[in-house]
Amino acid sequence: MSFGKRAALILLVLASVFLLLNTPVVWKWMYPIKYEQQIVTTALKYEVDPHLVLAVIRSESGFATDRVSKKGAVGLMQIMPDTAQWIVKEAGFRPKDSEYLYDPVMNIEIGTWYLDFLLSRYDGDIVKVIAAYNAGPGKVNGWLASEQWNGSRDTIEDIPYGETRQYVQRVLYYHDRYKNIYDFQLR
């Protein structure tokens, strides 16, 4: 086989691989969703973008319900027990037992309620919301007040905590991926 034919064959194979990898089926395989109905239903209930909920879950736990962080955050959305207690009281939730944060339905409900709370607090600015979900609203408010960070997507590098900086970038990345892959018909 001549060099020209070999090069053309290689280009054809590479183009085919690229096209195959760029299909919705492959993207959905790379970014699967567990608990889709619960996430979409709960997101709709609280008027939160389901892609944001998915991005938080993927970043926090990788969809593992039994995940517990070194700091003690629990479940799919990695909710701190103290924050969960505050949310349960504030929102009037009635968990059936003390292990409620391991229950995917309850964890999604509490985490999505909290995202809605943060979205209200930060006027729908998901960059600030994501930072507050990770570091806490008190820290984010402090950074904004002291002008350490102005809260914009363009200045994520100014976030004082490296963990939060990386978290915000990761959640935004997953948010964009899920938004490009899944088109939820929210009514």
Does residue 44 sit in the same domain as residue 67?
Answer: yes
Q: How confident is the model at residue 58 (pLDDT cuts 50, 70, 90)?
A: very high
Tens digit of each residue's pLDDT (9 = 90 or more) over 122-136 = 999 999 999 999 999
Does residue 77 sit in the same domain as residue 166?
Answer: yes
Does residue 167 sit in the same domain as residue 113?
Answer: yes
Residue indicated by tokens 């350490």: 148
Token pair listed for 112? 């999505």
Domain count of the fold of the chain: 2
Domain with 146 in it: 31-181
Asked whether residue 187 carries a pLDDT value surpassing 50, the answer given is no
Q: Tell whether 1 is covered by a domain.
A: yes
Does residue 6 sit in the same domain as residue 72?
Answer: no
- The 3-state DSSP class for residue 68 equals strand
- Cα dist from 124 to 76, 108, 111, whole Å: 23, 19, 16
Catalytically active residues are: 60
Domain CATH code at residue 149:
1.10.530.10
Q: Determine the pLDDT at residue 31.
A: 87
Does residue 71 sit in the same domain as residue 159?
Answer: yes
